Amino acid sequence: MAVSLACYSLISHPSYLVTLRWRMFCCQVVVVKKYLNLSIVCLSANLIISTHASAEIKGTAALEEVVVRAHLLSDQGLSQSTDVLSGDELFEQLQGSLGETLANVPGVRNASFGGAVGRPVIHGLGGARVKTTEDRIDSLDVSVTSADHAVTVEPFIANRITILKGASTLLYGSGAIGGVVDTETGRIPKRLPEASLTGRAEARFADNADAETLAIRLDGKTTESIAWHLDAFSKQADDYEISAPADSGEQGGASTLEGSRYDVSGGAFGASFIGEAGFIGLSISTLDANYGLVGPHAEHEEHDGDTGDHADGHDQESFEQDEEQPGVIELEQTRIDLEAERIAPFSGIEKINFRLGINDYQHSEIEGNGELGTVFDNRAWEGRIEVSHLPIASFKGAFGLQLNGREFSALGEEAFVPPVDSDSAGLFWVGEREFDKWSLETGVRLDRVEHSPSPVGLANVDFSTLSSSLGAVIPASESLSWSALLDYTERAPAIEELYSNGAHLATQTFEIGDTNLQKESALGLSFSAHYHTDLVDLNATIYATQFDDFIYQTNTGDIEDDLPVLRYQQGDADFVGIDFEVAFHLSKFLGGDLDLTATFDSVSADVKSRASGEQSLPRIPADSQSLGVSWDNDVWRAKLNFKQVSSQTDVANFELTTDSYTDLTLTINRRIGLAVGDVDLFIHGRNLGDQEQRQHTSFVKDFAPAPGRRIEVGARFQV
């Protein structure tokens, strides 16, 4: 604990922070470049690892895949609706963005913006209400600020992705009023591996957009007390082909979506000292991305005047683009993560865990004519201390303190949000108590949020928020359990909602914030059923959430700078929905296991305000249902899934409806067992019907449909 606090005090000092960021960045560049070549050699060296050690590792991994690590108390995610993608299921769903990877999870959608950008939407809530985290620390990017900004969490290096549906504010703060998507990377080792070296490597190629993805990760130990991790990835694609409507009359039935291309690479190195009493570890990661901007962004008229010198790090070659080309975003991020844990440091304390993430993020938006438009800079950090205690008054639980700071700026002619410094602090407790036939769980959290804009004349604002919950898990039998959750949550307005004032070209709107916005509050109630036997797995959740002072954008009908004016305002909103998924495990068929699956999810949401009356909220996802069949005999695996997304006609003022579509996918996997590991050869077919697919949750769905038919082939080696 003393080491943790010392590290926190040292790293958080402003003068040290600048020096540390630069040194760590330089170190990471050298490490990644060096180990990109070394990793291939190291992976080949796995061929001499013993078969016995490999079997032990694979057995351990299989057991760990069912554990939900996103919650302090329960391996089953408590009474909250939770989904976990790991193992083969995650492998089959991997896509270019986090949102697209999770788009087939019931209750989750993708707010897409081309090939590289996609933010998760949970139960109709997205943006600032859904928190994306990497190993329980915020992604610390600017993906909330605008729909065209990428989430800097890479799904291809994930061990597992946990989706907490519904308010998760007790552990993660007011920004998680709609849910949390936590990606576990393993970049900071927490336990010593059995073997000296394990890992996996993957390569996949797709015909649509000539997409290529390469990813590798290695984990090992140098001594009986030091473990290390290394990963690197690269993915790139040209503009993808989209399907033309059946009645369009276009020859060939497809065209190319300009601006959907991307080129992304990154990597990380981490190491931990691990002992019987705990561990302490550090990781350094970098991300570089260059991706196009789809939709009408590039079609907006040019700004007059000279933009001046280019931002640091952009040479003249990066600006030599054709005037007719779409704009691009050039993104750079360096991140440092620290974690320390001490087991049983004091009487009555099970463990103390400390996490710290420090991020240096910048991206530049380059116009189609090569001029520098806007530079976004985000220097942020987040730290948390969790103290798990033995039962107090029969409640076993954990206390926690979470702190974060952010220096955000957007400079340039297209900046619609001013520079703002933000600080927040949260204090929480969660606990559960076991009774004879059921368990009770509860918790409370207090937060303080302060926003300080730089421009003179803009008001500083601060908010205090309160969140609490009460839940119950009732096992009816060995196969059936029921759960119920009642929660009250409050959320402070985000800086975009408070201070926006200008043309937002990514969404082709003129956005106006309001510094008089009040915090929004929500009262939620959900019921879940879980039924698991050798024959059937069933999970179902119904939920209802009532918001007071819900913050949303409304189209005023006015025009400013040739763009429709959207103003942030507040009203009372109601969300009601259901998530359902069932799998039937049939007897052996042709020497393998045959599974039949079905899913359904639906959500409706409306808002009532004095200014606009009652109306539907924008970008609420349409109903979705799917049927699937899979067959697996441990050598071959095949899965066929048919998904149908209904049309969305419940739309907000000035919002266009979205047509229904179908999605047919097929996966075929051939596993080849080696003495030291497995090789998977696979082919994935997506949108095999070549349907035009427009996602109602996307800001650019009227300009940028999803990709057309895609055939993807690849290989994965893991030990």
Q: Which residue has the tokens 């095949």?
A: 638
How far apart CA 190 and CA 270 sit, in angstroms, is 11
pLDDT tens digits for 233-259?
Answer: 999 999 999 987 655 444 445 689 999
**Which SS3 state, helix, strand or coil, does residue 262 take?**
strand
Whether 239 and 209 have beta carbons less than 8 Å apart is answered as: yes
Q: What is the DSSP string of 173-233?
A: -GGGSSEEEEEE---S--S--SSSEEEEEEEEEETGGGEEEEEEEEEEESSSSEEEEEEEE
Does residue 651 have a pLDDT over 80?
A: yes
Q: Please say whether the dihedral angle defined by the alpha carbons of residues 66, 71, 77 and 78, taken in this order, is positive or negative.
A: positive
Q: Give the list of residues 6+ apart from residue 41 with CB closer than 8 angstroms, or none.
A: none
pLDDT at 589: 78
The alpha helices in 478-554, defined as continuous H runs, are: 495-499
How far apart CA 406 and CA 394 sit, in angstroms, is 39
Question: Rounded mean pLDDT of 501-511?
Answer: 86
Burial (Cβ within 10 Å: 0-12, 13-18, ≥19) of residue 614? exposed
Whether 32 and 288 have beta carbons less than 8 Å apart is answered as: no
293-302, 548-557, 651-660: segment of lowest average pLDDT: 293-302
Whether 138 and 355 have beta carbons less than 8 Å apart is answered as: no
pLDDT band at 326 (very low <50, low <70, confident <90, very high): confident
Q: How far, in Å, are 360, 368, 442, 577, 718 from residue 469 at the CA level?
A: 35, 49, 5, 20, 42
Burial (Cβ within 10 Å: 0-12, 13-18, ≥19) of residue 34? exposed
584 membership: H or E segment, kind and range: strand 563-589
Whether 569 and 596 have beta carbons less than 8 Å apart is answered as: no
Does residue 230 have a pLDDT over 60?
A: yes
Q: What is the dihedral of CA 304, 306, 311, 312, to 10 degrees?
A: 170
pLDDT at 588: 79
91-100, 481-490, 603-612: segment of lowest average pLDDT: 603-612
Q: Which residue has the tokens 């080849």?
A: 672
Average pLDDT across the chain, whole number: 85
Burial (Cβ within 10 Å: 0-12, 13-18, ≥19) of residue 129? buried
433 membership: H or E segment, kind and range: strand 420-434
Angle between helices 14-44 and 2-11 (to 10 degrees): 110
Burial (Cβ within 10 Å: 0-12, 13-18, ≥19) of residue 315? exposed
Whether 189 and 227 have beta carbons less than 8 Å apart is answered as: yes
Q: In the numeric block, which tokens belong to residue 528? A: 């879940």
pLDDT tens digits for 441-463?
Answer: 999 999 999 999 988 788 899 99
Q: Give the list of residues 6+ apart from residue 393 with CB closer than 8 angstroms, or none.
A: none
Whether 573 and 604 have beta carbons less than 8 Å apart is answered as: no
Does residue 170 have a pLDDT over 70?
A: yes
Cα angle for residues 429, 433, 438 (degrees, 5° grid): 135
pLDDT tens digits for 353-381?
Answer: 999 999 999 999 988 777 888 999 999 99
Whether 616 and 648 have beta carbons less than 8 Å apart is answered as: no
Does residue 226 have a pLDDT over 90?
A: yes
Q: Please say whether the dihedral angle defined by the alpha carbons of residues 614, 615, 618 and 620, taken in this order, is positive or negative.
A: positive
Q: In the numeric block, which tokens belong to residue 685? A: 């077919």
Q: Which residue has the tokens 């005090």?
A: 9
pLDDT at 413: 77
pLDDT at 296: 61
Sheet arrangement for strand 130-134 = 82-86, 160-165, 179-184, 130-134, 137-138
Phi then psi for residue 23, to 5 deg, are -65, -40
Helices (H) and strands (E) in the chain, counts: 7, 34
How far apart CA 334 and CA 284 sit, in angstroms, is 7
- In one letter, which amino acid is 175? G
pLDDT tens digits for 75-88?
Answer: 444 688 899 999 98
How far apart CA 20 and CA 26 sit, in angstroms, is 10
* N- to C-terminal Cα separation, the chain: 35
Domain covering 18-718 assigned CATH 3.10.180.10 in the classification: no
How far apart CA 354 and CA 337 sit, in angstroms, is 11
DSSP-derived secondary structure letter, 581: E
pTM of the model: 0.85
Does residue 501 have a pLDDT over 60?
A: yes
Does residue 54 have a pLDDT over 50?
A: no
359-363, 611-615, 616-620: segment of lowest average pLDDT: 611-615
Q: How far, in Å, are 147, 176, 224 from residue 126 at the CA level?
A: 10, 10, 44
DSSP-derived secondary structure letter, 706: P
How far apart CA 72 and CA 540 sit, in angstroms, is 23
Residue with more model confidence, 7 or 273:
273
Cα angle for residues 265, 267, 273 (degrees, 5° grid): 175
User: What percent of the chain has pLDDT above 70?
Assistant: 83
24-33, 227-236, 653-662: segment of lowest average pLDDT: 24-33
pLDDT at 323: 46
Residue 525: how many CA atoms within 13 Å on its side-chain side? 3
Residue with more model confidence, 30 or 364:
364
Q: Give the list of residues 6+ apart from residue 657 with CB closer than 8 angstroms, or none.
A: 647, 648, 649, 651
Q: Which residue has the tokens 């974690």?
A: 339
Q: What is the DSSP string of 76-105?
A: T-TTS-EEEEEHHHHHHH--SSHHHHTTTS
Phi then psi for residue 351, to 5 deg, are -165, 160
Cα angle for residues 127, 699, 490 (degrees, 5° grid): 20
pLDDT at 297: 55
pLDDT band at 526 (very low <50, low <70, confident <90, very high): very high
Burial (Cβ within 10 Å: 0-12, 13-18, ≥19) of residue 297? buried
pLDDT at 324: 58
pLDDT band at 215 (very low <50, low <70, confident <90, very high): very high
Does residue 72 have a pLDDT over 70?
A: no
Question: Rounded mean pLDDT of 583-611?
Answer: 90
pLDDT at 656: 93
User: Domains of the chain: which residue ranges?
Assistant: 18-718
pLDDT at 74: 53
Q: Give the list of residues 6+ apart from residue 519 with CB closer than 8 angstroms, or none.
A: 174, 463, 465, 490, 491, 492, 493, 549
pLDDT at 245: 63
pLDDT tens digits for 679-711?
Answer: 999 999 999 999 999 999 999 999 899 999 999
pLDDT tens digits for 622-647?
Answer: 999 999 999 999 899 999 999 999 99
